[in-house]
Chains A and B, each alone.
Chain A
Amino acid sequence: MSRFTELAERRWEGEFTLERWLSYLWAEATNGEDPSYRGSTEDDHGLAPPTLATIVAREAAGTTTIEAALSEAYGTTAEVMLGGHRVTFDRPLRFGETYRATAEILDHEERTGTTGAFSVVTMAYSVTSATGEPAFQVEWDFVVRAA
């Protein structure tokens, strides 16, 4: 039985509206080159930076505190690091849109490396438009180890 078995039985879901200001700030923080990311006063459904999909999924599913939950499940003082992301788009990410997401722990396994034991936990998000059309899928890999 893994440290994360109980947490893996949980499901998260909810919705999130991606507002223009967030697309703007994300583009600023990541040097996003496409001018459409920042929109204009007349543009209320512009393109958002694609990597922002990872954050939209996390916000929509209500998993902004998932690191704390993973750390607690680990059982000792743990640090939670980001290992990777995978994103597949059914449609471009746009600000002004409301997204619905469900999330679950897709996989969790214990590993041992040169620096000792650690766990790898994969969170999977399925994201749709407010009316249910597929929008994108996201996976977050977390590496959890004793601090």
Chain B
Amino acid sequence: MTTQEYSVGDVVGEFTFTVDPASIQLVTAIVRDPNPIHFDTGYIEERNLPGRVSQGPINASHAIQAALRIAESPTDLHEFSVRYEDFVFEGEEITAIAIVEEKRVGAGSTTVDLSLTLEKPDGTVALTGTASVRIE
């Protein structure tokens, strides 16, 4: 698509994924995450949680991938901001969505500002955010 073909409200990235417990284990190890909601099944049962909780950066990464569907390269991502609104649990089906909110044409480049969400099948929003991506 060219710049002219993007309009405010266009969904430029949307995909559904299932939260893999192996991802949670891997990130727990990488960041030495001390929070037991990510690995301690006994603690998770005590808290009456339905499973291990996916780390925020895992969730953010999927939202950013939805944003990058509009980009030629990850190097086009200028900035992003995310807010973790609700827990995401292992095994859950999550849909990542990126929508055009604004298109800014500058000298020699065009930047698209996107809204980002992660949604559960029941409509619960687990993440909200924004991203700015250069497209030309």
Residue ranges of A at the interface with B (Cβ–Cβ < 8 Å):
22, 25-26, 28-34, 36-37, 47, 49-51, 54-55, 58, 64-65, 67-68, 79-89, 92, 141
Contact = CB atoms under 8 A, between A and B. Distances in A.
Interface of B: 17, 20, 22-23, 26-27, 30-32, 34-35, 55-58, 60-62, 64-65, 68, 73-75, 77-84
10 contacts: A25-B30, A28-B23, A30-B61, A31-B65, A49-B74, A50-B74, A82-B55, A84-B83, A86-B79, A89-B77
B82 A85 contact: yes
B31 A55 contact: yes
A29 B82 CA distance: 19
Contacts of A87: 79-81
Given A80-B35, A85-B82, A89-B77, A22 B60 contact: no
A51, A65, A87 interface centre (most CB from chain B within 10 Å):
A51
Contacts, number: 96
Query: Main SS of chain A's interface residues?
Result: mixed
Contacts of B73: 34, 47
B26 A64 contact: no
Contact of A51 (B60, B75, B81): B60
A82 B80 contact: no
Contact of A54 (B17, B34, B57): B57
A21 to B, nearest CB: 10
A50 B64 contact: yes
Contact of A29 (B34, B58, B80): B58
Contacts of B17: 31
B105 to A, nearest CB: 20
A50 B57 contact: no
Nearest to B36: A79
A26 B17 CA distance: 17
A83 B22 CA distance: 23
Contacts of B31: 55, 58, 64
Given A28-B26, A50-B77, 14 more contacts: A26-B27, A30-B61, A31-B20, A31-B23, A31-B65, A33-B68, A34-B68, A34-B73, A49-B61, A51-B60, A54-B60, A55-B30, A85-B82, A92-B75
